[in-house]
Amino acid sequence: MKYLNGQEVRLGDNVKLWSDAEGIVVCSIDTNEYSKEYPESEWGYLKKGVLIKSPQAGLIHYMEPETTMELLRRV
């Protein structure tokens, strides 16, 4: 999956989801990147997209980026 600016969404990215909501990419199924807490063995069945963990919204599976989603920081 890519941000609207064309950059690839990567594991560990800090992202703005919408006003007052941020999150961290905990796995990118598209790039085969998984964190220890969200391993491929548990989440690979989704086949596409990314998982983002947000304090405001919990765990969200995105197959396509939202128009408000943007990269804040990359580690």
What torsion, rounded to 10 degrees, do the Cα atoms 68, 40, 53, 22 define?
A: -40
Output the six-digit token pair for 44.
């690979």
Task: Note the pLDDT tens digit of each residue in 54-68.
Answer: 999 999 999 999 999
Backbone angles phi, psi at 46, to 5 degrees: -70, -25
Task: Note the pLDDT tens digit of each residue in 8-43.
Answer: 999 999 999 999 999 999 999 999 999 999 999 999
Strand-strand pairing, 21-28 and 50-54: antiparallel
Q: Is the pLDDT of residue 75 over 90?
A: no
Backbone angles phi, psi at 35, to 5 degrees: -80, 165
Number of H helices, E strands in the chain: 1, 6
pLDDT for 38 equals 97
Model confidence pTM above 0.85: yes
